[in-house]
C-alpha cells in the first residue's frame, strides 16, 4: 500500500537558524585566525537580545559583538519594525575557556592519536531518489525556502517578505519506496504589515507562492522531479493567517534545535547531537559528516539504493566503538550488512583526527552549513575574508561541504565488485 512521508525546513531568518548562523560565524572566525581553536559556542536570540555562551580555547581575540551583528544584517533583520535589528539589539557574551578535563583526552600531538571529543553515536544517510542523494521531501523543503529568500532579496516581484519562514513537503511513495507525487506543500512566511484588506493580502501571498515561487523552483529541477508537481497538490500557505510578528521577536531561538532540518528530514536516524558552533574535534559534527560521506559514496558506487551508517565513540578514545550499516534490503552485493561494514573499514578511516584531515575540517567552512541543511550541498572552493578587531585582514580559500565529494568511488568498486 502506498504511503506518505513528510519533511520540513526553516529559513535563515527562523530564530533557531539565526542562532545557528551566529554560532558558526564565531567558529569560522576562531578557526580563520587559529586553526587549532577548540570551540563550543551556543547562542540565544530573543526580542532585541543576543546571548553568546560556551567554551573556547584559542590564541586569538575576536569582536564577537560585531560578528553577531554582521550575521544578523546578512540575514536581513535590518528594520526596527522587526523588534530584532542588527545595529540596535543587545549582544551579551558569556564565553569562557574550555575545561582542561575535556581537552586532555583530545589533544595528543599526532592527528592519528587524537581522541574523540565526546561519546555518542552519529548517523549518515543517503538515497538515490535525488541527484544529490538526499531524501526528496527534505530536499524540496530546503529549495522552496531558498527560492523564497531569493525573491525577498530581489524585492521585485514580491516585495512584502520578511526573513522568517517555514516549509513542509509531503510525498506519496509506492510500496517499493519510489516517489510518485507530491501530496501537500506547506509554506508559512513572515510578511510586512498589511495596509490593504487582510483577506485580500492573504490571498495574494498564497497566489504569489503558488504561481510565482513554486514555478520558478520547478523550472530548476530534474525533469523526473518536475513530474511530481501535479495540479492536485494541496497547498497550505500561511494557514493560520497573518504572520507579521516573527523571527526572534516571535519566538526565542537557540543553537542546535533544528537537528532534523540540518540532516535528513526524519529519514534514517539521528544520534541527537547538534552541529553548529562546534569545532571538528567534537565528533557530534565531524563524525556525522564522515558518516554522510560514507553513505553517499556507498550509494553512488552502486552498492545499495539507500543506506544508513552509524558510527559511535567514547570520549578520549581514538578508534570508534562501533560501525553499523543498514541497506534496508537494497544491497546490490552478495554480502550481509555486517560484512559490508567490515569491508568499509579498509576504505574509510574513522579516527577523529583523520576525519578532520581528510575532510579538511580545520578550515573556516561552517557559516555556509548553518542554514538550508548540512547535507546534500554543493562542494566548491570559495574565498572568505576575515578581519580582527585591530583591523588585520586575511583572505582564505576554503573548500566547502567536502563530505559531499564522491572521492571514494574507485576504492569502493575495487573492494565490492
181 is in an annotated binding site: no
Consult the annotation and say whether 98 binds a ligand: yes
- In whole angstroms, what is the distance from residue 138 CA to residue 373 CA? 9
> In whole angstroms, what is the distance from residue 18 CA to residue 371 CA?
9
Pairing of strands 179-191, 234-237: parallel
C-alpha cell of 149?
Answer: 529568500
- Sequence-ordered list of residues with C-beta below 8 angstroms from that of 125, at least 6 positions apart, any chain: 135, 263, 264, 267, 268, 269, 292, 295, 306, 307, 308, 309, 375
Strand partners, 383: 397
| Residue 14 annotated as part of some ligand binding site | yes
Give 389's DSSP letter: T
243 assigned ligand-binding residue? yes
81 is annotated as contributing to ligand binding = no
Residue appearing with cell numbers 566548491: 380
Contacts of 370 (CB under 8 A, 6+ apart): 17, 20, 21, 23, 24, 25, 276
Phi-psi region of 342 (alpha: psi -120 to 50; beta: other; left: phi over 0): alpha
Do the annotations mark residue 211 as ligand-binding?
Answer: no
Is residue 251 part of an annotated ligand binding site?
Answer: yes
258 is in an annotated binding site: yes
Question: Do 235 and 185 meet the contact criterion of CB atoms below 8 Å apart?
Answer: yes
Q: Is 200 annotated as a binding residue?
A: no
The number of helix segments (H) and strand segments (E) in the chain equals: 13, 13
d(CA 244, CA 250): 9
Residue list, annotated binding site for Mg(2+): 16
Annotated binding residues, written as ranges, equal: 14, 16, 42, 55, 98, 164-166, 242-243, 251, 257-258, 274, 278, 282
Residue ranges of the annotated binding site for L-methionine are 55, 98, 251, 282
**Which residues participate in the annotated binding site for K(+)?**
42
Which residues does the annotation place in the binding site for ATP?
14, 164-166, 242-243, 251, 257-258, 274, 278
Amino acid at each position: 500500500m502506498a504511503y506518505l512521508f513528510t519533511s520540513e525546513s526553516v529559513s535563515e531568518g527562523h530564530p533557531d537558524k539565526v542562532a545557528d548562523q551566529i554560532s558558526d560565524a564565531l567558529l569560522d572566525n576562531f578557526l580563520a585566525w587559529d586553526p587549532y581553536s577548540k570551540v563550543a559556542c551556543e547562542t540565544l536570540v530573543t526580542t532585541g537580545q543576543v546571548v553568546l555562551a560556551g567554551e573556547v580555547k584559542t590564541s586569538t581575540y575576536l569582536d564577537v559583538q560585531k560578528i553577531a551583528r554582521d550575521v544578523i544584517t546578512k540575514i536581513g533583520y535590518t528594520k526596527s519594525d522587526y523588534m530584532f535589528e542588527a545595529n540596535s539589539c543587545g549582544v551579551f557574551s558569556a564565553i569562557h575557556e574550555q575545561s582542561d578535563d575535556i581537552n586532555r583526552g583530545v589533544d595528543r600531538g599526532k592527528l592519528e592519536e587524537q581522541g574523540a571529543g565526546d561519546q555518542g553515536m552519529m548517523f549518515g544517510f543517503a538515497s538515490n531518489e535525488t541527484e544529490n542523494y538526499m531524501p526528496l521531501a527534505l530536499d524540496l523543503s530546503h529549495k522552496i525556502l531558498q527560492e523564497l529568500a531569493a525573491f525577498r532579496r530581489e524585492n521585485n516581484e514580491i516585495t512584502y517578505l520578511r526573513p522568517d519562514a517555514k516549509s513542509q513537503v509531503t510525498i506519496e511513495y509506492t510500496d517499493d519506496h519510489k516517489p510518485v507525487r507530491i501530496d501537500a506543500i506547506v509554506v508559512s512566511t513572515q510578511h510586512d504589515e498589511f495596509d490593504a484588506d487582510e483577506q485580500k493580502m492573504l490571498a495574494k501571498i498564497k497566489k504569489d507562492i503558488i504561481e510565482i515561487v513554486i514555478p520558478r523552483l520547478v523550472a530548476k529541477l530534474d525533469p523526473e522531479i518536475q513530474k511530481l508537481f501535479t495540479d492536485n497538490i494541496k497547498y497550505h500557505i500561511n494557514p493560520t493567517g497573518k504572520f507579521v510578528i516573527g523571527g526572534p521577536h516571535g519566538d526565542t531561538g537557540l543553537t542546535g534545535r533544528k537537528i532534523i532540518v540540518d540532516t535528513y528530514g526524519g529519514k534514517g536516524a539521528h544520534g541527537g547531537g547538534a552541529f553548529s558552533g562546534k569545532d571538528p574535534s567534537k565528533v557530534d559534527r565531524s563524525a556525522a559528516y564522515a558518516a554522510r560521506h560514507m553513505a553517499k559514496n556507498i550509494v553512488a558506487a552502486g552498492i545499495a539504493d539507500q543506506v544508513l551508517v552509524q558510527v559511535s565513540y567514547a570520549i578520549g578514545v581514538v578508534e570508534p566503538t562501533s560501525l553499523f550499516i543498514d541497506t534496508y534490503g537494497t544491497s546490490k552485493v552478495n554480502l550481509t550488512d555486517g560484512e559490508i561494514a567490515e569491508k568499509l573499514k579498509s576504505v574509510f578511516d574513522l579516527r577523529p583526527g583523520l576525519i578532520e584531515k581528510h575532510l579538511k575540517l580545520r578550515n573556516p567552512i561552517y557559516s555556509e552549513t548553518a542554514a538550508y541543511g548540512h547535507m546534500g550541498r554543493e562542494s566548491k572552493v570559495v574565498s572568505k575574508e576575515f578581519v580582527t578587531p585591530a583591523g588585520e585582514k586575511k583572505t582564505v580559500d576554503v573548500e566547502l561541504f567536502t563530505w559531499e565529494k564522491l572521492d571514494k568511488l574507485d576504492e569502493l568498486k575495487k573492494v565490492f565488485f
